A = this chain, B = another copy of it.
Amino acid sequence: MGKTAFGAFAERSLRDFTVEAVAKCLADAGVEPSAVGAFYLGNFAGPEFVGQSHLAPYVAGEAGFIGIPCTRFENACASSGSAFYHAYAAVAAGMVEWALVAGVEKMTSQPGPRVTEILAEAGDVGGEGRAGATFPALFAMIARRHMHVYGTTREHLAAVAVKNHANGAKNALAHLRKPITLAQALAGKPVCDPLTVYDCSLVSDGAAAVLLRAAQPGDIRVLGIAQASDYVALDQKPDITTLAANGRAAAKAFAMAGLGPRQVDLLEVHDCFTIAEILAIEDMGFVAKGEGGPATASGYTALEGEKPVNTSGGLKSKGHPVGATGVGQICDLVIQMRGIAEPERQVKRREVGLAQNLGGSGATSVVTILGR
């Protein structure tokens, strides 16, 4: 696996980032570019962010593997989780020996309002978008409803931010390495009630890559993996306090792995907003419905807690270069499972890791369980 730093890098291009992550990945594996049999690229909106499409061969030409099948996968913020899912399928089927999966996004080249507009295209543009709802608004509605139904509080949301900032501050590749207090999180500038700036993930540039093969002794293995879908528009979901695709994907991935939440040692989940982390641990069965906030506030998901969640800092602090996030989560699990995280954030129980990558406001979810 290989990752670039996540952050705002005005001088660097989408292709630069991807080539760096790919080169790090191949060096980490000791594999030559010529051995790569297929290239899977997760990217949400390169055409709109940087004006270039046909990105898979465009990157492959620079990365040193031309000729092989090169394909771009787009599933909003789950683009590279989805690319990983399809690459896993090809390797498992014996169609390719070494599959290289990368994810990338270069977001900071566009002004903020345009970034918000591009992100909103992952929602229901003709309905939600026409009504003026950008992503903070969609997740604010989800949060408000969760507060109403389950008694979740602003302090619960803020606890997610405080934890993830604490973790990300210890991650050398994180975008925002700044611990914050509960008081700071609660006093954040409002973005869309009840969410403040501290409830929202970052607009970042970056890339990540992993190399897959049929598992050999010593390899970290995919024990279970599943991709699931749901309606794009919130108003088509029977209950917006549950993102059904998370539960569907987790149930399949757990069944495939023959494991349950109890056996998972650490998680990387898709905290595009603080409420999304609460939904993720609830929807996948790590805590009972409605208990995500209190569990977080109690330290259950902290670095030293029973189920460390987002030891990388999560999207909130590590950054969220949209198309890179899914593969980035896989890399972050591998870093912990190999025991090579910064000592101040290295977890002790690290046999089984779970990554959950969400697309949009829940129309796609990819859940991957890694083990030995």
Interface size class of A (residues with CB under 8 A): 35 or more
CA distance A63 to B250 in the complex (A): 24
Does A47 interact with chain B (Cβ within 8 Å)?
yes
CA distance A61 to B122 in the complex (A): 14
CA distance A121 to B58 in the complex (A): 11
Kindly identify, within residues 67 to 119 of chain A, every residue whose CB is under 8 Å from any CB belonging to chain B.
Answer: 67-76, 82, 85-86, 89-90, 92-95, 118
Which residues of B sit under 8 angstroms from A57, Cβ to Cβ? Answer: 75, 229-232, 359-360, 363-364
Which residues of B sit under 8 angstroms from A45, Cβ to Cβ? Answer: 47, 53
Does A34 interact with chain B (Cβ within 8 Å)?
no
CA distance A60 to B121 in the complex (A): 16
Q: Are A89 and B82 in contact (CB under 8 A)?
A: no
Which residues of B sit under 8 angstroms from A60, Cβ to Cβ? Answer: 229
CA distance A47 to B95 in the complex (A): 31
Question: CB < 8 Å: which of B55, B121, B244, B245 contacts A52?
Answer: B121
Does A189 interact with chain B (Cβ within 8 Å)?
no
Copies in the complex: 2
Does A248 interact with chain B (Cβ within 8 Å)?
yes
- Given A57-B231, A75-B72, the answer on whether A89 and B93 have CB atoms closer than 8 Å is yes
A58 CB, nearest partner CB in chain B, Å: 5
Q: Are B53 and A230 in contact (CB under 8 A)?
A: no
A326 CB, nearest partner CB in chain B, Å: 12
Does A227 interact with chain B (Cβ within 8 Å)?
yes
Which residues of B sit under 8 angstroms from A297, Cβ to Cβ? Answer: none
* 7 extra interface residue pairs, beta carbon distance < 8 Å, beyond A48-B48, A53-B74, A69-B228: A54-B74, A61-B231, A67-B248, A71-B74, A89-B89, A90-B93, A92-B95
Closest 7 CB pairs of A and B: A93-B93, A57-B363, A69-B227, A54-B76, A53-B121, A70-B229, A57-B229
Nearest CB in chain B to that of A88: its residue: B95
CA distance A126 to B55 in the complex (A): 13
